[in-house]
Copies of this chain bind each other. A is one copy, B any other.
Amino acid sequence: MERCGRSLELAANGKKVALVSGGDPGIYAMAGLVYEMARDKAVDCEIEVIPGIAAVNGCAARLGAPLMHDFAAISLSDLLTPWEIIEKRLKAAAAADFVVAIYNPKSKKRVKQIAAAQNIFLEYRDQNTPVGVVTAATRHNEKIRVTTLAKMLEEDIGMQSTVIIGNSQTFVWQDKMITPRGYSDKYALK
């Protein structure tokens, strides 16, 4: 918020300002805050968002191709969102067979939500559904794990992790997580 405020202040004074954000500024990141602050402070300047590689893009790539079909991104952080809404979304996404990318799965103080999410998915999906856990994607301490819905909590999940839960069609091949492009076999290759 401090960086956003300072950037807008400089821009309002006629400077060209580049505000740097990790990942894609438009996905759970800083672009929205810039617009919200600009509106609230009535700052009149042109704002351009340059897209980037979000965790959902980067982590999917490291796991193989888990997002080839319809997917949802859900943050488990209940700091700004009531848990009831998060829970509703988890149930909706699980029931409608979306591949789901879970952001903010766990922090030191917030550990129950990921277990609750697992339980919700276990109601709708096979316990052997592939699950990928990517921590610190592409960084020196990167960790990539392909596991299952039943065993996902055995993995090290933290602040830098994104968890991707496959849909009913997702399979594992050579330790990669792959979701086919459809439900029919029209695309069969033989």
Instruction: Tell me the A residues contacting B by CB distance below 8 Å.
Output: 1, 24-29, 31-41, 47, 49-54, 57-58, 60-62, 64-75, 79-82, 85-86, 88-89, 91-93, 95-98, 173, 176, 178-184, 186-187, 189-190
Contact = CB atoms under 8 A, between A and B. Distances in A.
A75 B74 CA distance: 18
Residue with the greatest number of chain B CB neighbours at <10 A, chosen from A26, A41, A86, A89: A26
Given A57-B52, A60-B27, A182-B79, A47 B92 contact: no
Given A26-B57, A35-B173, A80 B186 contact: yes
A74 B31 CA distance: 23
A50 B57 CA distance: 9
Contacts of A32: 65, 68, 178-181
21 contacts: A1-B189, A24-B61, A26-B65, A31-B65, A32-B180, A34-B65, A35-B173, A35-B176, A35-B178, A38-B173, A39-B178, A40-B189, A49-B64, A51-B61, A72-B98, A79-B186, A80-B186, A81-B182, A88-B97, A89-B97, A93-B96
Contacts of A95: 88, 92
Nearest to A182: B80
Nearest to A80: B182
Contact of A49 (B27, B37, B61): B61
Counting every copy of the chain, the complex holds: 2
A137 to B, nearest CB: 9
A64 B33 CA distance: 11
A72 B93 contact: yes
A39 B75 CA distance: 33
Nearest to A33: B181
Given A61-B49, A61-B50, A68 B176 contact: no
